[in-house]
Structure formats: C-alpha cells, structure tokens
Amino acid sequence: MTLNENLFRSIVEAAPIGILIQTKGKIEYINDLFLRWLDADAKTIREQAFLSIVHPVDRNRVNQEIESADEFGRELPTTVKLLTASGETLTVDLTLRLLRGSAPDGRDYVIICAINTEGRIAEERAMNSLREGIVALVTRELRDPVQIILMHSHLLLRFIAAGVNVGPASSIYGIQKSAIRIGQISGDMLDTFMLQLKKVPLHKEPINLSLAIAGAVERLRLQENFGPIQIHVEGDIPMLNMDPVRLEQIILNLLRNAFQRNPEQKGIEARIRLSGMGILISISDNSDPIPAEQASRIFDLGTQLKAHRFDFGLYIAKGLIEVHGGKIWLEPGTDKGNVFHVWLPTNP
Amino acid sequence: MAAILVVEDDPALLEVAVMLLRLNDYIVTGAQNGEAALRHMQANTPDLVITDIEMPILDGPGLIRRMPVQNKALTTVPVILLSGLSELREIARKVGTPYYLSKPYDIDALLRLIKKAMSEKTPPNPSQRKVG
C-alpha cells in the first residue's frame, strides 16, 4: 500500500458519505458508513455486486444508469430502494456519482457515492421497526377473537346438526362481541399508522360536545358492560369545530381507559367546563394511582410495543386531540383517582 | 370420562372452550391463570391440562414448571400448549411438551390432539426436547 493509497483510505473512511467502488461487477471497496446503512459486514458484501443490494424493482433502472456512465463521470440524483443484510427494504435518496475509467492496473471501476442519506435511513428504519412491531402485535391480538368466533360457530353447527333450530344465545353474543373486537383492533391499527404518517383525514364541522359524549357512552355500553358514568357540565359550553367521528372516538378511548383501570366498576366522572379559549374535559377513573414511571410514558406508543401490549387507545386519543390543536395530560393520584385532562380549542 | 383442566386468561375464550369440550363428553374445569390452575390441582389430578402461554399472575410455562413441584401425581399429566405467539414451537420445546397448537386453530384439530395426548400420555419433560 502506498502513502497515497493510505491517504485516500483515511479520507474516504472519514467522509460523511457512503462510498462504494465496484470492479468487474463485484464490490471491491465499501466504507464503514455505507456498511452501517446496510447492516452488513465488509467480507460478505465484497463477494456481491452492487446491483444485488438494489431492490429488484429498481435493479434494471440502476443497471442502465451504471452502464451509461462515461469516462468523465456525472452526478445522478435518484431514489433507490436498497436491501439490507437483514432483508429490510430502505427507500433512500442517493446521489450516484458514476465514474467509468481505467486505473493503473488496467481494470474498469464504477464509483458509487451515497450522499446525505443517513438521517433518512435512520428515520425509515425506525418507522419500519414500528410498523413491524404494530403488525406483530395486531396479528397476535386478533387470534383470540377469531378463535372465539371459530368455537362458537362450531358450537352452533353442532346444535343445527342435532336438529336444534336455535343455538345458544351466548354463542351468538360471543360471535358479535368478537367481531366488534376485531373491528376495533383493525381500526386502531389503521389510526396508529395514519397518526405515525401524520395523514389523519379530518372532516370538521360544528359539533355539540355533550352529544358527542352521549354518543360515546352509548357505543361503549353496546360493546362492553361497564359501571356508571357521572357527567357534570359547568356553564354554557360553545360548539366545537371538530371531526365528529374523531371527537367521539377520543371520548370513547378515554372512557374505556378509565373503566379498564376500575375493574370494581366504582363509577367514573367526566367534568366539562370552559378554560381560556377552549373547553376542558376532565375524566376521573376513581381508581388506584398510576405509578409515576408509568404516568410519564402513558401516551407513548413505543412503551406499549415494548411491553407487547395492544392498548393504543391513549396514544390514538392524544394524536387525534393534537391534530385538532388540543392537548392532553394526566394528573395521577387525586382524591378522585387519576384524572385525564383534555383541552380542546373552541375555534381551531 | 376423562378430566381436562383448561387454563386461559380470556374469559370469553375460556367459557366457549369449556362448553365445547363438555359437549364432547369431557369433564372440564376452567382456570384463568396458572395460579388458579395450581389451586385446582392441589386436590384434583386431571388427565390432561390445556393451557395458554401468556397469562397474568402465572403463565403457561410457569404452570408447567410448578406442576411436579406441587404434586408428584402431576408429573404424569400431559399438557397441550395453545397460543398465538410465533415462538410457540420454541416454547413447547423448552418446556418439553410434544403437544401444541397455534391460535386460531381448527376445533377438530384440537379434539384430535386431545385424543393423541390422552393415548400417548407423554408429560412435559424439559430434558427431552424433541417435539412432533
């Protein structure tokens, strides 16, 4: 190795860009940064062609670009899907700098530089990991209600085969409850993805908050058998300009959360009052204080995923409140239990 | 008639599983977690235990580990694992039971597996890690 080659290597190793050199169809050199992006080790990757780490959907196009590279090189800004060693697909913005030339040893080289992609890759990887976590949790969560439907259907068929015209009502009720649960799980998954992508469609219109709460309570009663709810409205509450379906969903998720914390069905309380330029809704769960370490991360999706819990209700409620310009916070351990406060602007 | 103990934390699933197995002429008892199952087995030795894996208080693998500690008679009881976990096969291998089914499963498949477990009577054995 000559002094010049050493100098060259130290420069490219420190460069904030991914650098890959291909000779006669095989990767001859790849710098550490590019390796990190691909989650690969240098030895394995050097046995491959650059095109083998390009996703098949982009392979022909990138191959044509490489083939058309001339002696003087040119910059090719493009978006390319790459395959990492673990099989992930990463869509990244690359600037390929292609140079076809002859080195002193007489071989042809293609130099590929990937510029300013690390942040995007990290974001993409985090999103992929989140999606995988959600899909895995949802898939698992769906299995119990599907199993219940299968078992009740089997029971009903047994009754029909035995000449009994009406099967047990508990089977029909069980199928209905499981179907509702499946709908709720798939809806929560979709909402979680939409919130992650910041693409929640909203259809705002003037809406009466009391009607939204009444609607949420009615839906909750249809789905589950919960304890009493006391609703206190202080003063004249103006109309809100919100998506009515989403407002009902926010209330429903908060009420369900309060009841789930209160298995003895001691009854929960919702208090509505004016606060500044908006309305404050405070829902008290009348149950034991939420420990401080849980309280600080209660709206966090990552915490739920790490704990393998499919309980995205509070995360979704927070996301929907924020897209309407509002905010939510928790006041744990009051004399009325844990209080979830929601502030919504009257004119968002 | 054979006695089966079903351990499942989802009350709706437990209820329908108990109903179904009773219709198939088994004597069935339900428990909502491993602790409740162990309490039942203090005075009763079932012919078969069917258990979920993830449960509060005491999970399925914990239950299987504690069965022979609690009662020597339980060392001969076969156990079927039912779960939606992707690691089901690996968990079955670890606890040493050859009987497991992934949720959602066909009811007839469960009934066939119950018959197989009842006739073979292979109890969990963590040292024998071959599973079918």
Nearest residue in B to A156, CA atom:
B20
pTM assigned to the model: 0.62
> pLDDT tens-digit profile of A39-57?
888 888 887 888 888 888 8
What is the secondary structure of A173-194 as a DSSP string? Answer: HHHHHHHHHHHHHHHHHHHHHH
Task: Give me A94's structure tokens.
Answer: 């690359």
**Confidence category of residue B129, pLDDT binned at 50, 70, 90:** very low
Chain A residues closer than 8 Å to B86 by CB = 136, 140
Least confident of A116-120, A218-222, B48-52, B122-126: A116-120
Q: Is the peptide bond before B78 cis (omega within 30 degrees of 0)?
A: no
Residue pairs between chains A and B whose CB atoms are closer than 8 Å: 47
From CA A10, how far away is CA B7, in angstroms rounded? 62
DSSP β-bridge partners for residue B81: B51, B100
Rounded Cα–Cα distance for residues B126 and B69 (Å): 14
Output the CA angle A309-A314-A316, nearest 5 degrees: 100
Residue B131 confidence class, pLDDT cut points 50, 70, 90: very low
Give the bridge partners for A297, in sequence order. none
Q: How confident is the model at residue B32 (pLDDT cuts 50, 70, 90)?
A: very high
User: What residues contact A335, with CB distance under 8 A and at least 6 apart?
Assistant: none
Chain A residues with CB-CB distance to B under 8 A? Answer: 136, 139-140, 143-144, 146-148, 150-152, 154-155, 158, 168, 170-171, 174, 177-178
Please name the residue of chain B whose CA is at the shortest distance from the CA of residue A138.
Answer: B84
Interchain pair B12, A177: CB under 8 A: yes
Walk along chain A (348 residues) and give the pLDDT tens digit of each residue: 455 777 777 777 777 778 888 887 788 888 888 888 788 888 888 878 888 888 888 889 888 877 776 655 666 667 788 888 877 776 666 666 666 656 666 666 777 777 655 556 667 777 777 788 888 888 888 889 999 999 999 988 888 888 776 667 778 888 888 888 888 888 888 888 888 878 888 888 899 888 888 888 887 876 666 788 888 999 888 989 999 889 999 999 999 889 888 767 778 899 999 999 999 999 999 888 988 888 888 898 877 777 767 788 999 999 999 999 999 999 998 888 999 999 999 875
In the prediction, which pLDDT does A93 show? Answer: 64
B84 contacts in chain A (CB < 8 Å): 139-140, 143-144
Task: Specify the pLDDT at position A137.
Answer: 82
Please count the CA atoms within 13 angstroms of the CA of A246 that sit on its side-chain side.
25
CB contact under 8 A, A174 and B19: no
User: What would the mean pLDDT of B17-46 be, rounded to a whole number?
Assistant: 95
Give every strand in the sheet of A229-233, ordered side by side: A229-233, A268-275, A278-284, A337-345, A327-334
> Which regions of chain A does DSSP assign to beta strands (E)?
17-23, 26-30, 74-83, 89-98, 101-102, 108-115, 205-207, 229-233, 240-242, 268-275, 278-284, 327-334, 337-345
The CA–CA distances, whole Å, from A243 to A113, A204, A287 equal: 47, 4, 31
Q: Kindly state the percentage of chain B with pLDDT values over 70.
A: 95
